[in-house]
């Protein structure tokens, strides 16, 4: 009993040390993980170019330019649509003033704090402009440096991928090298499947949200469709945030109750199609993590790495699940993280749909 308890304590201690290391090394690990995941996404394209006798260096540079072009298109699209809202800035200011006045009146009526006292409290709590500028400059500098590091890791991980793979295989015992090679291939495939599937999902969500919001008469429907689709990167929380933002902005623009209800109805229909049709067909079972561990991964990712941790939580957890599934002592953990196995009758409709559209599992 004492030996078993000691073993459990050691495991928790190791787990605590691992997560502590991940937290304190986040400035190093975050760009490396993002760069590595993006590199796996471009791996088939890079391999295809090399098979066409293109030098590896040139193939990697073309992948880098393709990535930058994709980022530029997304930023330009969002910037163009957001600029359309600048004309409504006066309306937003007016609504903010009205909301502030209502809050002041509520505080005065219920807490008996005068308007002058409220201003004095805010004045005492408000940080100086110098400190605010210092924080903003530090944040921008940190983002730029992380982005540059991300691109550097992306390039060199693609270029040295075979060298790194051989190094990992050499670390493994000869009797297990074939299995290790299989694990590496499956982890890479899962990352590619997740990112490609997520890209397809976001594109289809843009179409569905765009049609739905345009049909019910939402102003700047395309912008909100793009926002709702992009926020799908964060499961559960992202789509709710995008829909809430759409409802709030539509309400500020004077949208009636029918319009606001229509937005919620569009959200419900899109989520139904996404959850029951798109996710099983596009993402597949290999990257499916059960809802409990999806939430746990998101919460832990936010605690460790903030917003980047939320974005990386699902693909990293999916990769961890693949590793657990191929290492005997860790198989129970892979089973715990994965979806509950379904019966043949429960999945038959999906299999028929895949066969109909010739979709591989």
**Proportion of the chain above pLDDT 90, given as a percent:** 11
Predicted pLDDT of residue 361: 44
To 5 degrees, how large is the angle CA 40–CA 41–CA 45?
Answer: 100
Question: What is the pTM assigned to this prediction?
Answer: 0.71
DSSP 290-355: -HHHHHHHHHHHHHHHSHHHHHHHHHHHHHHHHHHHHSGGGHHHHHHHBPPPPPHHHHHHHHHHHH
User: What's the DSSP call for residue 235?
Assistant: T
Residue with the larger pLDDT of the pair 118 and 61:
61
Write out pLDDT tens, residues 166-192.
998 888 888 888 888 888 887 887 777
Does residue 152 register a pLDDT over 90?
yes
Cα–Cα dist 94/100, whole Å: 10
The answer to whether the beta carbons of residues 206 and 74 sit under 8 Å apart is no
Q: Provide the pLDDT confidence category of residue 107 given band limits of 50, 70 and 90.
A: low
Predicted pLDDT of residue 242: 80
Q: String of b and e for 169-200 (b: at least 16 CB within 10 Å)?
A: eeeeeeeeeeebeebbebbbbbbbbbbebbee
Predicted pLDDT of residue 143: 78
Residues 10-33 have a mean pLDDT of: 84
The answer to whether the beta carbons of residues 139 and 147 sit under 8 Å apart is no
Does residue 249 register a pLDDT over 70?
yes
Which positions ≥6 away from 106 have C-beta within 8 Å? none
Residues 127-156 have a mean pLDDT of: 73
Cα–Cα dist 68/59, whole Å: 14
Write out pLDDT tens, residues 313-336.
888 888 888 788 877 788 888 888
To 5 degrees, how large is the angle CA 284–CA 264–CA 198?
Answer: 25
Which positions ≥6 away from 124 have C-beta within 8 Å? none
Residue with the larger pLDDT of the pair 342 and 347:
342
Write out pLDDT tens, residues 36-57.
888 888 888 899 999 988 999 9
| Closest CA relative to residue 260, chosen from 247, 249, 245, 241 | 247
Does residue 134 register a pLDDT over 90?
no
Predicted pLDDT of residue 157: 92
Predicted pLDDT of residue 348: 47
| Closest CA relative to residue 305, chosen from 101, 52, 26, 5 | 26
> What is the distance between the terminal CA atoms of the chain, rounded to a whole angstrom?
45
Residues 241-265 have a mean pLDDT of: 82
- Mean pLDDT computed over every residue of the chain: 77
The answer to whether the beta carbons of residues 256 and 245 sit under 8 Å apart is no
């Amino acid at each position: 009993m004492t030996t078993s308890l000691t073993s459990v304590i050691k495991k928790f201690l190791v787990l605590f040390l691992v997560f502590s290391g991940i937290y304190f090394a986040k400035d190093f690990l975050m760009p490396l993980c993002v760069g590595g995941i993006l590199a796996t996404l471009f791996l088939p394209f890079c391999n295809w170019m090399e098979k066409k006798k293109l030098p590896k260096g040139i193939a990697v540079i073309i992948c880098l330019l393709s990535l930058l072009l994709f980022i530029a298109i997304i930023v330009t699209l969002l910037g163009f649509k957001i600029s359309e809202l600048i004309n409504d800035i006066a309306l937003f200011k007016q609504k903010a003033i009205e909301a502030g006045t209502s809050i002041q009146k509520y505080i005065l009526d219920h807490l008996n704090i005068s308007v002058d006292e409220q201003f004095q409290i805010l004045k005492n709590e408000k940080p100086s402009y110098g400190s605010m500028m210092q924080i903003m400059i530090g944040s921008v500098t940190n983002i730029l440096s992380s982005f540059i590091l991300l691109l550097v890791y992306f390039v060199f991980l693609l270029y040295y991928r075979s060298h790194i793979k051989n190094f990992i295989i050499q670390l493994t015992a000869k009797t297990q090298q074939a299995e290790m090679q299989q694990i590496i291939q499956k982890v890479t495939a899962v990352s590619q499947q997740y990112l490609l599937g997520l890209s397809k999902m976001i594109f289809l969500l843009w179409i569905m949200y765009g049609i739905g919001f345009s049909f019910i008469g939402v102003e700047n429907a395309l912008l909100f469709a793009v926002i709702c689709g992009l926020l799908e990167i964060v499961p559960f929380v992202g789509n709710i945030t995008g829909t809430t933002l759409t409802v709030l902005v539509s309400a500020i623009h004077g949208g009636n109750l029918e319009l606001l209800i229509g937005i919620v109805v569009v959200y419900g229909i899109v989520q139904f199609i996404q959850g029951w049709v798109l996710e099983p067909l596009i993402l597949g079972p290999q990257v499916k993590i059960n809802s409990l561990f999806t939430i746990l991964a998101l919460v832990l990712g936010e605690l460790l790495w903030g917003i980047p941790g939320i974005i990386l939580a699902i693909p990293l957890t999916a990769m961890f699940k693949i590793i657990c599934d191929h290492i005997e002592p860790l198989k129970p953990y892979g089973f715990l993280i994965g979806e509950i196995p379904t019966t043949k009758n429960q999945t038959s409709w999906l299999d028929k749909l895949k066969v109909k559209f010739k979709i591989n599992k």
